[in-house]
Structure 1
Amino acid sequence: MAPFSSWVQERHFPDLHIPISVDRLFSVFPEGPIQARDGDTLYLSNLDDIIGARVFTPTIYFYIVGGNSIDTVVGTLRDALAKVLVPYYPFSGRLRETKNKKLEVFFGPNQGVLMVQAHTELSLNHLGDLNVPNPGWSNLVYKFPDEGDYKVIDMPLVIAQVTRFSCGGFSLGLRICHCICDGLGAMQFLGAWASTAKTGSLVVDPNPCWDREIFAPRDPPIVKYPHVEFMKIEDISNLTNSLWEVKPLQKCYWLSREFQAHLKSVARPMDSLGCTTFDAMAAHVWRSWVKALNVKPVDFGLRLTFPVNVRPKLKTPPLKDGFYGNVVCVACATSTVSDLVNGSLQDVTRLVREARLGVSEDYLRSTIDHVAVDRPTKLEFGGKLTITQWTRFSMYETSDFGWGRAIYVGPLDLTPTPQVCVLLPEGVVANSNGAMVVCICLPEAAAHRFKQLLCLMDTS
């Protein structure tokens, strides 16, 4: 292998089926009065109800605990959730469509969030490597038997499944509706839930703030940018077919902090602006993925999209502390196949950096207005890879509900949307040494080539 073989390691996980038995399903309601009555509604911004946010984000938490019965664990989680749902009451509502397919939150009787208690005869040892996501964990996250893909309307906005393993350990499988919060907002909500469970009394810091009206579109709307990220592009390449027609494999690669530092030094454009680790990593993964897939034709236009947190860039007005709605814009770098695979890694890093720096407050407002004028109604995959970075989320810090931190927090199955790549903090040691796990989908035929490219065996 290349000199980096100890710096880049493929992480293997077993092909699993986890048989589970559901013991009970029950709703959890806010334990006290909330700031909404039956019939009330809440405004969602165009950043909240854009097509890419109309999903549930599934995450799984694994805990090795002795001494706590599962009934005690479920009771602690339920009681804390009931307390937290008072200040975070929008999570207890439901979504519905209004005119022009816009979503809003509405409140009615008997809504609440859903909790599921389940068990399996397997022990956690059966699951293999708990450092990397495994599609075989899917039974640990609850889905309704007849639930369609991307269904968010009339659904509980938080679904939590606690599954006891025979060894006494357990998992917490969560689905949170992306329309209500982005990743940072979810961390705020989960931090409040965990702190409340740990102390037994309500802890919210900062106090949650709804305030979605600050992202209302302008009148008249002003769309200043082309917003290529939403454009429908006819995919005349072999890219989409190679990923959707044959079920691709989910692949996970552990990258040491040393490798990331080396990559950043190799990828840095020769100018005064430098680059971030994300710029270098996104450029390298995108280029390696396209090369490994051998995308044709070479003049086909590709897109790399990635969410950018716009909170630090908001000045008019600055965002209130405790705001937990969606404040992300989709940045988009573009290149032909030929330029991507034949150009230098520094050139590609420059493209990623330009896309990231191009996301400003002005761009955010233009995005909101674009959606008002021309609301995208389906996800567009033409020529696209989306990279999403979870390494900066306080996933492990907010995972202690009173029985210690989770040994793994993160996604489980990327294969339903195989044009998404996730950058994760390393599990167990929870980022203590800065290692990263890259999770990406590839057809079997391209996997070996991708690993070679990822290890910088081709440094042109």
Structure 2
Amino acid sequence: MIANSTLMAPWVQELHFNHLSIPITINNLVPIMPAGPIPAGSGDSLYLSNLDDMIGARVFTPTIYFYKADYLNSAKTPVMKTLCDALACVLVPYYPFSGRIRETKNGKLEVFFGPEQGALMIEAYSEMALAELGDLTVPNPAWSPLIYRFPNEEPYKILDMPLIIGQVTQFSCGGFSLGLRLCHCICDGIGAMQFLGAWAATARTGTLVTNPEPCWDRELLQPRSPPVVKHSHIEFMRVDDGSTLTMSLWQEKPVQKCYRISREFQAQLKAQAQAQSNEKFSCTTFDVMAAHIWRSWVKALDVKPREYKLRLTFSVNARQKLKNPPLKDGFYGNVVCVACAVSSVYELVNGSLADTTHLVRQARNGISEEYLRSTIDFVEVDRPRRLEFGGKLTITQWTRFSMYESADFGWGRPIYAGPIDLTPTPQVCVFLPEGEADSSGRMVFCICLPENATSRFTEYLCSVVSTDEYVNRKKLLN
């Protein structure tokens, strides 16, 4: 029997968030300069690799962290001062974060240093209590006021902006949130966790802690001379979207849906994919979850025409792929490649979970040191100028980031750590770790859909056949 959403309730739980308005008062904007001398002066610049400044990295990554008042009772120093003092300390070894991004010839970006730059911290207050915000374990677009944006700030603006923007919002109950924006050009997700961990450990101990020592070394990822592009890099290809997919998502503001997925459900998906395959194959939980969500999303959106080719893209950490030379442990720049699986709408809708899982697995396994070097050279030869969303779903995997462990500033683990709002980029899906210390392998994912497709998506998501049932069906068909 195909499982419906009621039967699967213990395995798949749809999460709901409150629709609310959060009034805040901005009390202070505080520039944060490095607490000591740094190896860069006014007029100096730093090289960014083509992985740092490719179009997908030219954004700020917003995240939020909530902390209960319980942890603050023993604190003698105000939260804002603790965070600002610790940030000033870590900006010495992480001094590139105190610079700014500017554009040089041919659209290339670099970090430059001028007078009175530094990071920016914002002090804010809300009359609300944390309890009034609803479920703090579910990403909620209504939390947007808790992450600072400049008045009239343009979308995707990164030039001449502080590279760290943090907003501390104190709530009436004594709890607080830290809304953080880090420029993706300076670090990828793993690098961001390294920086966040150093900041938190420094705040917790009252003395500078960097383990491992931060390493810039972006020159190791320079393009070859001459560039050698050995792969087609369809992940960057501009596609004139001839399908209904993009139009259906952008015509009206989509809604953000979040689901908690149990370890049992993930195991059942893997078993189903392996039972369907004509050959023995190993796949990761990511492979099968990505395949299942992609198929469910396309079915729910009823994409046409059926022969249209769609793409699934996702980032792969390539640190361990680099051998010549290897990167140091403290390297915090972007070392991700964009993997891309391609399938027609017909194959996604009518094919098997195993078929799509194979495609995801092949794309992931296709990332090698040579693919990384080819990506760097491709961007050098033909630098993409805009984000391409045509016929595409992009999955961002945050489940391996130590977000909760890294964000203990001395007030314990945050109640929630992660993003808040995917709707500005509705073709992005995010896999998130569970906030509880013992989550038993559960994960949360968020995805955007038009309102009229949400119930269909939930139905397809929960439609998993047990291994025994699949084998029995196959015998009957044969």
TM-score, normalised via structure 2 length: 0.94
Q: CA deviation at 1:149?
A: 0.3
The corresponding residue for 1:271 is: 279
State the alpha-carbon separation in 2 of the partners of residues 276 and 70 from structure 1: 46
- Is the Cα–Cα contact under 8 Å of residues 264 and 275 in structure 1 kept in the other structure? yes
Matched, 1:193 2:180: no
Distance 1:263 1:457, change over 3 A: closer
Q: CA deviation at 1:270?
A: 4.5
Of the candidates 88, 95, 119, which is equivalent to residue 82 of structure 1?
88
Matched, 1:95 2:101: yes
State the alpha-carbon separation in 2 of the partners of residues 207 and 162 from structure 1: 27
- Is the Cα–Cα contact under 8 Å of residues 124 and 167 in structure 2 kept in the other structure? yes
The corresponding residue for 2:28 is: 24
Q: CA deviation at 1:131?
A: 1.0
State the alpha-carbon separation in 2 of the partners of residues 332 and 92 from structure 1: 34
The corresponding residue for 2:476 is: none
Q: CA deviation at 1:96?
A: 0.2
The corresponding residue for 1:297 is: 305
Q: Secondary structure at the match of 2:166?
A: strand
Q: Secondary structure at the match of 1:397?
A: helix
Matching residue's letter, 1:53: A
Q: CA deviation at 1:415?
A: 0.1
The corresponding residue for 1:54 is: 58
Kindly report which structure 2 residues correspond to 1:306-345, keeping only aligned pairs within 5 A, or say none: 306-345=314-353
The corresponding residue for 1:451 is: 458
Q: CA deviation at 1:272?
A: 4.0
The corresponding residue for 2:404 is: 396
State the alpha-carbon separation in 1 of the partners of residues 236 and 438 from structure 2: 33
The corresponding residue for 1:415 is: 423
Distance 1:417 1:78, change over 3 A: same
Q: Secondary structure at the match of 1:16?
A: coil
State the alpha-carbon separation in 1 of the partners of residues 156 and 202 from structure 2: 31
Matched, 1:360 2:368: yes
Matching residue's letter, 1:327: V
Q: Secondary structure at the match of 1:281?
A: helix
The corresponding residue for 1:232 is: 238
What is the aligned residue count?
A: 459
Q: Deviations over 1:309-343 (max 9, x none)?
A: 00111110111110000000000000010011111
The corresponding residue for 1:172 is: 178
Matched, 1:222 2:228: yes
- Is the Cα–Cα contact under 8 Å of residues 130 and 407 in structure 1 kept in the other structure? yes
Q: CA deviation at 1:458?
A: 7.2
Matching residue's letter, 1:38: S
State the alpha-carbon separation in 1 of the partners of residues 77 and 213 from structure 2: 30
Matched, 1:40 2:39: no
- Is the Cα–Cα contact under 8 Å of residues 50 and 379 in structure 2 kept in the other structure? yes
Q: CA deviation at 1:29?
A: 0.5
- Is the Cα–Cα contact under 8 Å of residues 268 and 464 in structure 2 kept in the other structure? no
State the alpha-carbon separation in 1 of the partners of residues 113 and 127 from structure 2: 39
Q: CA deviation at 1:200?
A: 0.2
Matching residue's letter, 1:332: C
State the alpha-carbon separation in 2 of the partners of residues 323 and 179 from structure 1: 13
Q: Secondary structure at the match of 2:142?
A: helix
The corresponding residue for 2:162 is: 156
The corresponding residue for 1:439 is: 446
Q: Secondary structure at the match of 2:404?
A: coil
Q: CA deviation at 1:69?
A: 7.6
Distance 1:404 1:93, change over 3 A: same
Of the candidates 8, 14, 17, which is equivalent to residue 10 of structure 1?
14
State the alpha-carbon separation in 1 of the partners of residues 389 and 119 from structure 2: 32
TM-score, normalised via structure 1 length: 0.98
- Is the Cα–Cα contact under 8 Å of residues 61 and 184 in structure 2 kept in the other structure? yes
When structure 1 is superposed on structure 2, of 267-276 and 11-20 the one drifting more is 267-276
- Is the Cα–Cα contact under 8 Å of residues 337 and 367 in structure 2 kept in the other structure? yes
State the alpha-carbon separation in 2 of the partners of residues 371 and 400 from structure 1: 37
- Is the Cα–Cα contact under 8 Å of residues 70 and 164 in structure 1 kept in the other structure? no
State the alpha-carbon separation in 1 of the partners of residues 437 and 25 from structure 2: 31
Q: Secondary structure at the match of 2:313?
A: strand
Q: Secondary structure at the match of 1:19?
A: coil
Stretches of structure 1 that go unaligned for 5 or more consecutive residues are none
Matching residue's letter, 2:141: P
The corresponding residue for 1:288 is: 296
Of the candidates 125, 148, 157, which is equivalent to residue 119 of structure 1?
125
Distance 1:349 1:431, change over 3 A: farther
The corresponding residue for 2:213 is: 207
Q: CA deviation at 1:71?
A: 6.9
When structure 1 is superposed on structure 2, of 276-285 and 313-322 the one drifting more is 313-322
State the alpha-carbon separation in 1 of the partners of residues 441 and 135 from structure 2: 19
Distance 1:126 1:68, change over 3 A: farther
**What RMSD over aligned residues (CA atoms) do the two structures have, in Å?**
1.3
State the alpha-carbon separation in 1 of the partners of residues 222 and 252 from structure 2: 42
Matching residue's letter, 1:263: L
- Is the Cα–Cα contact under 8 Å of residues 425 and 431 in structure 1 kept in the other structure? no
Matched, 1:182 2:183: no
Matching residue's letter, 1:260: Q
Runs of 4+ in structure 1 off by over 4 angstroms are 68-71, 457-460
Q: Secondary structure at the match of 2:226?
A: coil
Matching residue's letter, 1:21: T
Kindly report which structure 2 residues correspond to 1:370-409, keeping only aligned pairs within 5 A, or say none: 370-409=378-417
When structure 1 is superposed on structure 2, of 259-268 and 337-346 the one drifting more is 259-268
Q: CA deviation at 1:344?
A: 0.3
Q: Deviations over 1:185-226 (max 9, x none)?
A: 000000000000000000000000000001100111001111
Q: CA deviation at 1:431?
A: 5.4
Q: Secondary structure at the match of 1:349?
A: helix
Q: CA deviation at 1:416?
A: 0.1
State the alpha-carbon separation in 2 of the partners of residues 282 and 70 from structure 1: 46
State the alpha-carbon separation in 1 of the partners of residues 340 and 151 from structure 2: 36
Stretches of structure 2 that go unaligned for 5 or more consecutive residues are 471-478
Q: CA deviation at 1:303?
A: 0.1
Q: CA deviation at 1:271?
A: 3.3
